[in-house]
Amino acid sequence: MKRLSTMMLATIMTLGAMAQTTANDVLSVARKANDYFMAKYADPTLPTNVKKVRPSNLWTRAVYYEGLMALQQIDPQQRYIDYAMTWADFHKWSPRNGMNTCDADDQCCGQTYIELLPYSNKDKEEQIRNIRENLDYQMHTANKKNQSLYGWWTWIDAIQMAMPLYVQMYKETGYKKYLDHGMKMYRWSRNECGGGLFNVKDGLWWRDADYVPPYKEPDGKDCYWSRGNGWVYAALVRCMNLLPEKSKEYKELKKDFLLMSEGLRKCQREDGFWNPSLVSTNYEMPETSGTALFLYGMAWGIQKGYLKAKVYSSVCDKAWTAMVRDAVHQDGFLGWMQGTGKDPSAGQPLSYTKVPDFEDYGTGCFLLGATEYFKLLQKNNVK
């Protein structure tokens, strides 16, 4: 009798695990990952100190809170709200680096500030004043200095960091100028920056103008960074969740969401992960943050009826099973997590045990994926 290959064994194990996964199982793992983070970083006001000291409302921590607020939706706990509220109050509900920043990374924290409004008994207009003032400043600056690109989204990460915030502000205030500006910035990144960062043919994004053709990976393939594409994919979902489905903006984002979904589906690894470089053999290995963000979007798309369950459910099942099997440690630490950077080479080499330079955003990505997958299983009555 021939010995089964490693790949065949992994497939058999994956199929067995998928058949047994329930919504409660997913919630248990999500809690474990979050409890690990909250215990390790018990004081949310303390600054980070990776090569230099940074305030804890920087983008890496802000993405964590996106995940925490998503977890709160399926697992309401006052301790989650207290943790996030302490953080927001400490930073005076303000962007990192003050009201005159035009850096999308500095604005990311505003998304959680706005999500916290229903839990606060303070004046809402006062609490969003600083974020609103900052967005007004960026809108004025970007329009005034169009040619210099100051304040424009020249890297696709910015779409996740700031675009949902503009849509939130539109929904909160009713002023369409915020939605219009967010869409203007998105379209510029998509269609004009570097000749257009979205490759409609592949349904995938180049990270910035440095990676558009003729740039190639060593094997001659395009460089589509996994987490960068995850940022855009998640942003599309977060924005569509806030917009009327019949609006032109919703339809525009939905079209790109569907193109990305198909492009991403095609490059999933056999083991359920996605590579740091999506279509290249360069740095061919599991990567958790991108995988979690793709799970987030696809699980959402199935629930909305935009993605065919018979095609995408197995993609989601494989992604979740892979992360639980190969990335989640017993104490909740997440392995195979790429550190900060801008391309597949960042933080290499990755491994099951390596601690990335920042743990926060990876946990946030994981919680986003876990919570949406929980909803999908719950909707399908897989309790």
Per-residue pLDDT tens over the stretch 117-156: 999 999 999 999 999 999 999 998 876 655 457 789 999 9
How much is the CA Rg of the chain, to the nearest whole Å? 20
pLDDT at site 119: 96
Angle of helix 288-304 relative to helix 309-326, nearest 10 degrees, comes to 150
Supply the DSSP symbol for 285.
S
* DSSP states of 332-377: S-B-S---SSSSTTTTPSP-SSPPPS--HHHHHHHHHHHHHHHHHH
Quick one: pLDDT at residue 22? 96
Residue 145's pLDDT is what?
54
Q: Which of 106, 157, 208, 343 is catalytic?
A: 157
Residue 343: active-site member:
no
- Residue 298 CA, distance from chain mean position: 12
Lowest mean pLDDT among 5-14, 127-136, 196-205: 5-14
Q: How far apart are CA 195 and CA 231, in angstroms?
A: 20
Please report which residue ranges of 174-206 form alpha helices under DSSP H.
Answer: 176-191
- CA gap 219, 112 in Å, rounded: 40
In this prediction, residue 12 carries a pLDDT of: 47
The helix/strand/coil state of 98 is coil
Distance, CA of 276 to CA of 363 (rounded, Å): 17
For 278-325, write each residue's pLDDT tens digit: 999 999 999 999 999 999 999 999 999 999 999 999 999 999 999 999
Per-residue tokens: 145: 């200095």
Least confident of 146-155, 185-194, 225-234: 146-155
As a whole number of angstroms, the distance between CA 231 and CA 64 comes to: 13
Q: What pLDDT score was predicted for residue 144?
A: 67
Q: What is the pLDDT of residue 2?
A: 40
Contact 199, 193 (CB under 8 A): no
Which pLDDT band, with edges at 50, 70 and 90, does 381 fall under? confident
For residues 231-257, give the mean pLDDT. 98
pLDDT at residue 198 is higher than 80: yes
- pLDDT, tens digit, for every residue of 90-109? 999 999 999 999 999 999 99
pLDDT of 343 strictly over 70: yes
From 242, 267, 245, 263, select the one nearest 254 (Cα to Cα). Answer: 245
Alpha-carbon distance of 318 to 18, in angstroms, equals 7
The DSSP output letter for 277 is B
Q: Are the beta carbons of 56 and 46 closer than 8 angstroms?
A: yes
Residue 205's DSSP bridge partners are: 198
Q: What is the pLDDT of residue 351?
A: 98
Q: Where are the alpha helices (DSSP H) in the chain?
A: 6-20, 23-40, 59-74, 78-90, 104-107, 109-116, 124-127, 129-144, 157-173, 176-191, 226-240, 248-266, 288-304, 309-326, 360-379
DSSP bridge partners of 52 = 50
Alpha carbons within 13 A on the beta-carbon side of 57: 25
Structure confidence at residue 150 (pLDDT)? 76
Q: Rounded to whole angstroms, how far apart are CA atoms 171 and 118?
A: 14
State the average pLDDT over residues 228-243.
98
Element (H, E) at 206: none
